[in-house]
A and B are shown apart, each in its own frame.
Chain A
Amino acid sequence: MSIELKSHEPDGPIETAWDRHRQSINVVNPANKRKYTVIVVGTGLAGASAAATMAELGYDVLNFCFQDSPRRAHSIAAQGGINAAKNYQNDGDSVYRLFYDTVKGGDFRSRERNVYRLAQVSVNIIDQAVAQGVPFAREYGGHLANRSFGGALVSRTFYARGQTGQQLLLGAYQAHAKMVNAGKIKMFPRTEMLDLVVQDGHARGIIVRDLVSGALQRYAADAVVLATGGYGNVFYLSTNAMGCNVTSTWRAAKRGALFANPCYTQIHPTCIPVGGEYQSKLTLMSESLRNDGRIWVPQSAADSWNAEAGKVGRDPRQIPDSERDYYLERRYPTFGNLVPRDVASRAAKRACDEGRGVAYNGRGVYLDFADAIQRLGRDAISARYGNLFEMYERITGDDPYETPMRIYPASHYTMGGLWVDYNLQSNLPGLFVVGEANFSDHGANRLGASALMQGLADGYFVLPYTIGHYLGEVGPRSNDADGADFKGAEEGVKARLSKLISVPGKRSSESFHRELGRIVWDECGMARNREGLSSAIERVAALREEFWENVSVPGSDTGLNQSLEKAGRVADFLEFADVLLRDALTREESCGGHFRSEHQTDEGEAKRDDENFCHVSAWEFKGVGVEPTLHKESLSFEYVPPSQRSYK
C-alpha cells in the first residue's frame, strides 16, 4: 500500500496561515466535547500542557507516565531558557526573525509554515507561564529579563535561573493538577505504554503495564496523543534521564506510524566529559554558559591529555593566551562562541581528533570564565551561573571560578520522531504526536531554548485545536477495549514479556545497552560515513540476536521489576537503531546534526544537497531486521531561500 504524505499546510501568505487554518477546521461544540476521551502518554511539557488544555476544553483525558509522578518528566532538566519573539529588549526581534533563525538553524530541513506558527505562538507561551506563576528572572524594575543563545543575534531567551525547564514543567504540572482535581484528567503514574491499538486504520487505544503490580491493562479512547520525548538514549550515554526511551514511539511505528528523519540527532556541545567506564549518564552544562565562557584548546599537543599520565600537560592557567587556540572565535568571528550547537560540537570533535583534547581519553575542551570574571566580577558570574558552577564542582571536584571547566559534546536531543502533518497528526488517523516525540519544527538541528518553546506550543496552543478537527470529523464513538484488536495486542505484549523473562542468558540488559550505545555513537554520532554505517547495521543486528539468546532478566513479570522494564526498553532500542542507521546511510548529504564525512565543504563545513535531499525521510516499518520502506515529503522554501549556513 502506498502512503501519501500530505502535510495539510494551509497555502497563501504565511503570516495569516495559522489563523486561516483555525477558521477552516472543525470545531467541536462545547457540550459535545465531554463525549470524547483522549489518551495522552507522557507528562513532560508537551504532554502535561496538552492534557491540561484539552481537559479545560471539556474532553475527558486519560494520562499515563512511567515515572512515579507527572512532575518528574525529563523536561524538568532543561536548564537554559525558552525563546519568544517578545522583543522586550527592543533589539529588533520579531516573529519573522525568530522564524528565520529557526529555519536557518535547522539547516533548511523543516516545514516553513510549522516554524512560522511556532514563532507566532511563542509570545503566548510566556504570557501563559507568567500567569501560572512561573518565576522567570526579572530585572530590578520588575520586568522580565532576557539572555541570548546560540544561533541568534538578539536576546529573546526567557529564563528562570538555570532551572527554566523545571519551572515551566511545574507550571504545566500545576495546570494539570487543577484539572485532575476537577475530575477531567485521570492520571496513571507508574504505568508504561507497551503497545498502540489500531482498529480499522484508526488509533483507538493502548496497552499498558502497571509497573507496581505488573498487570497489563487495555484502554480505549477516541484519539491517542504521544508525548513521550526523544530517543537520545539509543547512544546509551546521553544527557537524557535514565528512563527516557523509544518504546512508545517505536511501538507506534511497528503499528504503521512513519518514523521521520531519525538521523537528525543533536549533540550538545557543552556537557561534562566522560569520566570513566562505569558512567551511567552525562550531565549538560547549559548553553547559556557560552554567553560568557570562552572555548579553547592548547595549541600544543604537549599540553593536552596524556593517557599514560592520566592528566593534561601544563595546568591550563599556566598556558599564556598566545599558546591557546580559541578555535570558535578564530573560525567564526561573527558568532564566536555562540555558533549553533552542531557547529560547536563538530569543532570540538575536530580539536580533539587533532590530539589537543584535555579530558579523559583526550575527549574534552576548556570553557574558560577567567576573562568574564575579570570583566564583570565574581558576583555577577555567580548570579548568572551559580547553580551550574556548583553542579559542575559537585560532579568533577573542580572549581570553575578558579580553573577552566572541561566540556565535551554529548547526545542531548533528537529532532527526528514520528511523522506528523500540520495538525500534529501522524499518518495513522487518530494518532497525534507532540513535543520532542514528533519530527516537525527543528529540521536537522534545533536551536538552544527552542525545545521548551516547541513542547509548550504543541501542547497549549496547537494540538488542543487541531485534534478537534479529527474528533469532529469522526464523531463520538463507543470506546470499547474488549474487541479482538485490543485482546490481540495485549496477548502480544504478554508473550514478549514472558519471552524476556525466560531467556536463559548471562548478560545484563545494561551491558547490551552500553554496547549498542558505543556502536551508534562511534558510527552515527558527530560524524558518519558509508562504511561505518554499513558495518554498524550488521553489528547491531548481531547484537540484537545475541540479546534474545543471552540476556538475563531476573524476577517475574508480576510485581515491580525494574530489570524487566529496562530489558523491554533495550530490546526496542536494538530494533530502532536499525532505522536510525539506515536513515543516516541513505541521506547522502550533510545537514545540521547529520554530518557525513563524504559531504563537506573545503573548509570542513556541512554540505547540503538541496537538489536531491530537500525532503523529509519517513520510514515505514516492514519487520524486524527487514529493510523499511522510505516515503518522502518534499520541502519547499518560499520565505527563507536555502543558503549555505554561515556563522562566520
Chain B
Amino acid sequence: MKKLTYLFAVGLSLLFFASCKHDDLSMAKPNENVRPAADFVKNNYEMRLFYAALQKVGYVDQLNGKGPFTVLAPTDEAFNNLGIYTAADFDKMNADSLKKVIGYHVLPRRLRVADIPSNGIDVRYATLEGTALYASAASLNPNGGALDELYFSGVEATRKDVPMANGTLHVLNQVMKPNFSKTIQQWLAQHKEYSVFVSGLKKFGLWEQLAVQGPFTIFAPDNKAMEDLGITELSLSAMDASKYLGDLLFGVYILYDRHFFTSDGQVFAGINSNGSYNYYPKNTTYYMTFGAGKMYPSFKLAYSLVLRTGPTSNDPPVAVSGDITAKNDNLCSNGLVHHLAGGLVRPEEAIKR
C-alpha cells in the first residue's frame, strides 16, 4: 500500500514535469539541396558576368562559406550597360577598385524585404566592403494600398528574396556605382566627357565647393550637350566671366543640400503621390522642377528637369531630360552625379543686365 502511494506520488510528479516537454514533434526535413551564395550565382546564366567578377576578386570561397550573406546580384544586361560584355573585360580594370565595388554588392547579413522598414527611405546597411549602402522601400501608399518596390543606392531590385543556403539574394537591373571616398570634384575631373562643364564651373568659381562637404546633386551635361548650347572650350576661354550670371549659366546644374537618387522620385510617387521637387537654383530667380521615376516610353528609371523663368506655369519652360539610366546615380562621398543629355541655359540668356 505504502509503496503504491509512493509510486503514485512519484508518477504524478513525473507527469507534472513531463507535461512541460514537447519532444515528439514531426517536422519536414529541410531541403539540403539549396546552394550557397557563390554556387547559386554560378548556376544562374543571367549572372555570368557577376560570377566572373566574384571569381576575379576572390570572393567565391567566402560566399560559399558560413554566412549569412545578402547578395545584390546585377544581371549580365546591367554589366552590358556599362560596356562590360565578357569576363575578360574585368581584366582591364583596376583589381582593387573592382573588389570594392563588388564588395559593395554583398551584405554580411541576411536582409529580406520584410527586414526593411515599410516606406523606409535611405536606410543604411553595411556592406562587405565596409561602407553602408542606401536602401529605399516603397511599401504602402497613402490610400492604404500595398506597393512592392525596393531600391539599393538608386538601383531597382527586380527579383527579391531569393533564398539560398547561407543567405538571400536580390537581382538588380543595374550595377550600383559607389565611388567611396572620391568627391564629386574628383569624379568629374576624371571623366573627360564633362570637361567643358568642368571648365565652366572653374571659370565661374563654382568648382572649389565640390571638393567639400555637401550634399550636392549634380546634373552633369556632357560636352555634346554643351556644344549644342554653343559652349565649347574655345568659346569659354573667350568669355568675360564678369559679364555673365555664373549661377545661372553653370550653377543651374547644381542642386545644393540634397542628394537625390533617380529612384527617389519613383519611391515618393508611390508613397505620397508626389515624385517631384521644385526649387529655385541658388542665387537665381529661375524655377526648377526635378522629377524622376520610370518614364515613358521605356519605363526605365530616368529623371527630367524643367527650368522656367519663374514659378508659375505661365513662365516659359526649357525642358531637358536625362534618359541614359546607366550613367545616372554616380554616388560620391559628397553627393550624386547624374548624366544630363541636354544643356539648359545658353550664354546669351545669362548675360548680366
Q: Do A and B bind each other?
A: no
Residues of chain A touching chain B, judged by Cβ–Cβ distance below 8 Å, are: none
